[in-house]
Structure 1
Amino acid sequence: MQISPNSNPTVIVPGNASNATAVDGTSLGLHGENAATATPVTPTPTSAAPLRRGLNNWDQPLQGDISGAQQALDFLEQSAAQLRNLKADLSARLANRQRADGTLDARVRQFSNSWRNRSQASGGTLDARLKFSNKASTTRFTVRGMTMANLRNGGREVLAISLGGGQNLRSVVLEPGLSDEQIAQRFDDALAPSGVRADLNEDGQLEFTTDEASWANVRDTIAVQGGGIRFPTGQLNRVKAEAEAPAVDPDSWQTSDMESVRATLQQVVQALAQVEQAIASVHTALNQVSARVQSAAPSDTTDGMDQVAQNFVSTARQPGYQSLLSITSALAGISRERVISLLSLR
């Protein structure tokens, strides 16, 4: 039997003229467990509630968290495999003291190119320090001259800060007697509308954060105008912003001689340890999300589906109109191409 790709059978549910309902294959005009058959079913404690369907009932953020974690794992595991191969090649070069033939350079470039694609490959879930988050990855950076020692000293001064090269200036008022936390809060309040946040890092220094996608623009355009106390007065002056050192920096790896090969091997070993640590961290996050999924999944979904299946089997076995209605409704929307594609998976 060949199933027409665009078949949408129209069936009239028996009843009086005012109740006649056309079924287009996607809806029978019924609800709950009766949606699969036209035979009324006496509700039971497990089937009285409306049938809820698997993924459609999961909290959407849960699905996003799972997808993000899986993307991060895919990237990290691929990176770990490349690093292990590179480690083996570097060790062999040192053991055999072979001459450089370009193979190691090619492998380093390959990993470097893969690593440069980290943000896209991981779906934006891994930052340069391999910190996993299902929110957009960020870049932490410092600004030259904005040390706490410099900011907390001196008289009252108003700093005008420009981000993005536009005329949208942000003002920060510095006064004697402010605590480090208060200074960081004033920077954070001023820059947050521009997508830059400020806080104190573990060393008690002022550190800024922005989305990784915005980092290049922030780095190249940040400028400050002061009152001549902490920063020069007059026109806006470009200041240097420096990003936090990445966990892995393959662009610095060299293989031109034995000494550089030895140094690169050490860096590769350290990078592999950090990647493996990140893998363990993402696995932990994924396990936590899986636990949330289990608790969020409806307890009566399985029982409800069992009830629907039993209704369909019972009705399909009985000859007559109701049996035909159940079968045609189940087959509606199934194209020949879909059947062939599913069979090809066997």
Structure 2
Amino acid sequence: MEIAQRPSTTGPSARATANPAPGQAETALGDAGAAIDQAAASKAPAPLRRGLSNMDAPLQNDVSGAQQAIDFLEQTAAQLRALKTDLAAKLTTRNMRDGQVEARVRQFSETWRNRTQASGGTLDAQLNYSNQPSTQRFTVRGMTLANLRNGARETLAISVGGGTAGLRSVHLAPGLSDGEIVSRFDQAMAPAGVRVSVNKDGELVFTAPESAWPGIRDSLAVQGSGIRFPAGQLNRIKADAEAPAVVPEGWGTSDIESMRATLQQVTQALAHVEAALSKVRQELAAASQRVQSELPEIEVAGMGQMAEVFANVANEPGYSALVSLTSALVGINRDRVVSLLRLS
């Protein structure tokens, strides 16, 4: 009696099903992905709102700027502490030949010269923090309220940075208040990137981007009509920069007296740096708090529908369902799961 032979479960067809060729696997992947996409689209889940990677750029700049300023200030404070310790030890032992203090001074001087670049432009020469580019404040001889408020009408032509594009005009007249004088200077010079205020001594204080300061310093000129400033051609005027908080160029180590003076200046500089560091840390804490309060909530509408689609695919037997599940789980690891759970 002939017995009908059953198809072999180990034949080529079965093996192809259990171990599909690369081309077949790619086809199955595409079909499964398309099936999930089509099913999910039919449920029309609500789109996700923006995520952490799309955080507002200004907020990101606040955080990164504060962190960069803190890095510079911490490095500066560490160098000043080391220099202070070495100076005190050298004054105690009166050992003047090892050269360690001189090396410390050179190291700090180099760090301070790189302040603008190292801090990302967030710290000016007084270590005032701002997430805007650092600025340089300066005064100009003769630009005082006492001098500007007196006299007949006069129009001042002020050259800022050279060239006709930097030529500004300020109209002065008897009877102007101090506030009006300052306002006229500020309005006239703002287009050139220079803002104007007044200090307690009645001097006009000009504020310009630190990067533009060398050009302004070397080209600032004014022309009047002979009342407050000379008539004729533009006359160069001297601009005096506000003294920086730290001046390591003046630190001496050649003798006991100069080292004592340097130790005092280093101590003052360290106090100034630590105060600035405390303020920037407060700025960073405030920015971090804003990050937490402005984190977008995850939109959950439609998530249940997407989960249902996924579950339906998982319940279907066969290789296609397996491929769909494994491809959907690619890249899912413990860190991602923990991060998502923390958002709640």
In structure 1, list runs of 5 or more residues that go unmatched. 1-8, 15-19, 23-27, 31-37, 333-346
1:269 aligns with 2:267: yes
State the SS of the aligned residue for 2:164: coil
| Distance across 1 between alignment mates of 2:247 and 2:312 | 65
8 Å CA contact 2:198, 2:204 repeated in 1: yes
C-alpha change, 1:313 and 1:122, in structure 2 (3 Å) is farther
C-alpha change, 1:90 and 1:298, in structure 2 (3 Å) is same
8 Å CA contact 1:39, 1:322 repeated in 2: no
- Of 133, 136, 157, the match for 1:136: 133
More helix by share: 2
Q: What's the counterpart of residue 337 of structure 2? A: none
C-alpha change, 1:302 and 1:71, in structure 2 (3 Å) is farther
| Distance across 1 between alignment mates of 2:272 and 2:62 | 22
- Of 81, 85, 92, the match for 1:84: 81
Deviation at 1:56, TM superposition (A): 2.8
Q: What's the counterpart of residue 6 of structure 2? A: none
Deviation at 1:42, TM superposition (A): 7.5
- Of 268, 278, 297, the match for 2:276: 278
8 Å CA contact 1:158, 1:173 repeated in 2: yes
Q: What's the counterpart of residue 324 of structure 1? A: 323
Deviation at 1:133, TM superposition (A): 0.7
8 Å CA contact 1:127, 1:139 repeated in 2: yes
Q: What's the counterpart of residue 177 of structure 1? A: 175
1:12 aligns with 2:10: no
| Distance across 2 between alignment mates of 1:69 and 1:269 | 24
Task: Name the % identity.
Answer: 59
| Distance across 1 between alignment mates of 2:250 and 2:311 | 66
Q: What's the counterpart of residue 17 of structure 1? A: none
| Distance across 2 between alignment mates of 1:129 and 1:223 | 26
8 Å CA contact 1:51, 1:304 repeated in 2: no
TM-score (norm 1): 0.79
| Distance across 2 between alignment mates of 1:157 and 1:188 | 17
Q: What's the counterpart of residue 70 of structure 1? A: 67
| Distance across 2 between alignment mates of 1:291 and 1:193 | 35
Q: How many corresponding residue pairs?
A: 304
Using the TM superposition, name which of 235-244 and 198-207 deviates more. Answer: 198-207
1:186 aligns with 2:184: yes
1:136-181 per-position Cα deviation (integer Å, ceiling 9, x unaligned): 1111110111111111111111111111221232111111111111
- Of 280, 293, 307, the match for 1:295: 293
Deviation at 1:55, TM superposition (A): 1.7
Letter of the structure 2 residue corresponding to residue 322 of structure 1? A
1:282-331 per-position Cα deviation (integer Å, ceiling 9, x unaligned): 11111111111111112336999999899879966875423312433554
1:146 aligns with 2:143: yes
| Distance across 1 between alignment mates of 2:105 and 2:193 | 35
Q: What's the counterpart of residue 110 of structure 2? A: 113
State the SS of the aligned residue for 2:211: helix
State the SS of the aligned residue for 1:12: helix
Letter of the structure 2 residue corresponding to residue 156 of structure 1? R
Q: What's the counterpart of residue 124 of structure 1? A: 121
Letter of the structure 1 residue corresponding to residue 71 of structure 2? D
Q: What's the counterpart of residue 155 of structure 2? A: 158
Q: What's the counterpart of residue 241 of structure 2? A: 243
Bigger radius of gyration among the two: 2
| Distance across 2 between alignment mates of 1:179 and 1:220 | 31
- Of 204, 215, 221, the match for 1:223: 221
C-alpha change, 1:315 and 1:191, in structure 2 (3 Å) is same
Letter of the structure 1 residue corresponding to residue 224 of structure 2? G
Letter of the structure 1 residue corresponding to residue 298 of structure 2? D
| Distance across 2 between alignment mates of 1:309 and 1:265 | 68
In structure 2, list runs of 5 or more residues that go unmatched. 1-25, 332-344
State the SS of the aligned residue for 2:91: helix
Q: What's the counterpart of residue 5 of structure 1? A: none
